[in-house]
Amino acid sequence: MTQKQAAISQTDSQASAKLDCFSPLFSCYNGAMLGFFAYTAQFELAKPQFHFVRTRMQEFLDIVAIPLQIPTTHKAYARRFLEFQERLAKSLAERAPGIMPWFGLGLGFVSSSFANVGMENPNYENWEVAQEILEHYGLPKDLFDRYVREASLDDNRGLDFQTIMNPALQFLQKIIESFEIEANTCFVAMPFAKTFVENFPCLYRPLLEANGYRAFRAWGGLTSEFYLTLLMQLIAKSGAVLADVTGPNTSVVHEVGIAHGMGKPTILIANSKRYHAPANLQDLNVMFYTVEGKDWREQFLGSCCQRLFLNRLSATGG
């Protein structure tokens, strides 16, 4: 082993040791989104989106290994919300304490937003907790009230899920704007179909962890301009981007373009039998996987990790 190989190996070992801990970006974004979704899902206005909201929350709980099953119907969830919230908070405190304050901030923000539009009585305890969290992280205290006031009734549609989520996404984007770039965090751009969601824990994440990165993905299903602005902020604060360009999916291609515009190192992978390169991707290097046999992921990970390692070694002149 050359000196440069040894240096890379040592760096990889150090990075892998850190991957067990949730980063500030991971904890803030996921904790707040979980709080937003968990609180809003109990209301009648979230009923049309309940399946999507529940699915995304359950996916995240699975990622952080919290063995908690979310009620499968809106009626059951609304009836058992307080019990579920208590169990979820306890599980987060035990499994992922760094996520807990952001989860609380997310709950408090949405609760205050409902109070702002007259659907709930103001909860001053939530407001005080929010102020304490913002102060603890050195964030402006007026940030909370400023964006809570953005929640308002739409004259044409009344109050709906997106009306509550838009100011919440703006609030979260402003918080993340203050974060440092995390060199060891890699944003995963992926379609949100079931196949790709299943790939996250057993393909994308192992691939990145083997190369010294922490895998990080967005919560799908939101389409407003505020979601896009937040998405751009997540990419900006990540050290690199892994994109599954199977199809390709137009949203993923857009995220690749954002990453390139920001000068982020980008790793492209795709299903070899479902890839038709658009003009703007034809000259880019793509690593292909083939979905055949039970061990196709393991085979791809072995060849892909070796290829990425050799690329890094070449870049160092080893």
DSSP string for 170-189? HHHHHHHHTSPPEEEEEEEE
Residue 297 placed within a domain: yes
Residues 212 and 147 in one domain: no
| Pair 270, 242: CB distance under 8 Å | no
Q: Say if residue 37 is in the same domain as residue 110.
A: yes
Q: At 300, which CATH number?
A: 3.40.50.450
| 18 occurs within a structural domain | no
CB 216 within 8 Å of CB 234: yes
The per-residue pLDDT for range 276-306, each reduced to its tens digit, is 877 777 788 888 999 988 889 998 888 876 6
Tokens standing for 40?
Answer: 């809003």
Boundary (domain end) residue, out of 120, 150, 177: 177
Instruction: Determine the structural domain holding residue 29 and report its residue range.
Output: 24-177
Is residue 50 very low, low, confident or very high in pLDDT (cuts 50, 70, 90)? very high
pLDDT of residue 197: 92
Count structural domains, the chain. 2
Residue 105 lies in a domain: yes
Predicted confidence band of residue 211 (pLDDT cuts 50, 70, 90): confident
Residue 77 located in a structural domain = yes
Which stretch of DSSP H or E encloses residue 289? strand 286-289
Q: Are residues 28 and 160 both part of a single domain?
A: yes
Query: Average pLDDT in the 2-27 region?
Result: 52
Asked if residue 5 belongs to a domain, the reply is no
Is the domain of 39 the same as that of 144?
Answer: yes
**Count of beta carbons in the 10 Å neighbourhood of residue 179:** 17
Residue 7: other Cβ atoms inside 10 A: 13
Strand partners, 270: 288
Under 8 Å between Cβ of 3 and 317: no
Q: How confident is the model at residue 33 (pLDDT cuts 50, 70, 90)?
A: very high
Q: Is residue 188 part of a domain?
A: yes
φ/ψ (deg, to 5) at 303: -70, -35
Residue 269 CB contacts under 8 Å (≥ 6 apart), including other chains: 207, 242, 243, 244, 245, 286, 287, 288, 289, 304
pLDDT tens for residues 110-153?
999 888 877 766 677 878 888 899 999 999 989 999 999 887 65
| CA gyration radius, the chain | 21
CA 221 to chain centroid: 12
Do 151 and 208 sit in the same domain of this protein?
A: no
Q: Which two tokens stand for residue 258?
A: 């954002």
pLDDT at position 9 is 42
Mean pLDDT for 83-91 is 95
Query: Residue 312 above 80 pLDDT?
Result: no
159 plus 34 within the same structural domain: yes
- The amino acid at residue 192 is F
